[in-house]
Amino acid sequence: MNILIVEDEAEIAQLIQLYLEKEGFTCRVCRDGLTALQIFQEQQPDLIVLDLMIPGLDGLEVCARIRQKPGSKDPYILMLTAKGEELDRIIGLSTGADDYMVKPFSPRELVARVRALLRRTLRQGGETRTYQTPHFVVDVDQRVAHRKEAGNMETLDLTTLEFDLLTTFMSYPGRVWNRAQLIERLWGSDFFGDERVVDTHVARLRKKIELDPANPTFVKTVIGVGYKFEDVA
């Protein structure tokens, strides 16, 4: 697994690299946003450890640009910041980060979070099912999702996590999922982040599959509980 570390503080970058390489990961380090985007396009890492406050383009802008044009890989993004305010955490997740850590942090915890993110790919890799509903077809083996509308089939441009989220919903139509259950399913039991990351990714999925994301037809909110998927002809 290839990891890109984007951190302008040399000592922190070296510490992260040391711990990750001890665990067998291949790491590359850069210190500014523009270089991070260039390396991303050239090497397509599996995961990016991304500091929020970096020279040039900041971490939020880098994250947003990667999510807009993910390329052949849609990497997991673990965002780092010295800021601990709630607003910063929410903004970081809303741009498409998968997890969030506040400095100072434990290098061992960072490694655990990296493994938890990358485990999604390993856990999903053996499935060969196809799920179909009146408006959607998802091929889990090929990792392709289609939306059917008026006899036409549209291929959905989903990120890795959006695809896994849609697959989870379609595997149990009508089931109500709370945040903790979705985190367990998609992130694993050793997830350390904010549960509201689920809300962010549900909102992003809705923008891609709903005709009116503000009034969703398929992924519905169950107030006080969580979410459920419904699709009727």
Q: What are the beta bridge partners of residue 222? A: 226
Say if 2-124 and 130-229 have the same CATH topology. no
Q: Pairing mode, if any, of strands 152-155 and 144-149?
A: antiparallel
Q: What is the pLDDT of residue 127?
A: 42
Going by CATH, does the domain composed of 2-124 fall within 3.40.50.300?
Answer: no
92-104: pLDDT as tens digits: 666 778 888 888 8
The Cα 196–Cα 109 span in angstroms is: 20
Average pLDDT, the chain: 86
Q: What is the pLDDT of residue 202?
A: 95
- Model confidence band, residue 54 (pLDDT cutoffs 50, 70, 90): very high
Question: Is the pLDDT higher at 85 or at 37?
Answer: 37
In this prediction the pTM is: 0.59
Write phi, then psi, for 216 (nearest 5 degrees). -65, 140
Q: What is the mean pLDDT of residues 136-147?
A: 88
**Is the pLDDT at 162 greater than 50, yes or no?**
yes
* Closest among 160, 134, 153, 167 to 77, alpha carbons compared: 160
- Structure tokens given for 209: 């599959």
- Contact assessment for residue 72 and residue 44, using Cβ atoms and an 8 Å cutoff: yes
Domain ranges of the chain: 2-124, 130-229
How many Cβ atoms from other residues are within 10 Å of residue 216's Cβ? Answer: 20
Q: What DSSP character marks residue 5?
A: E
77-121: pLDDT as tens digits: 998 988 665 556 666 666 778 888 888 899 999 998 898 788 765
8-12, 52-56, 92-96, 155-159: segment of lowest average pLDDT: 92-96
CATH for 130-229, options being 3.30.70.330, 1.10.10.10, 3.40.1160.10, 1.10.357.10: 1.10.10.10
Q: What is the pLDDT of residue 124?
A: 45
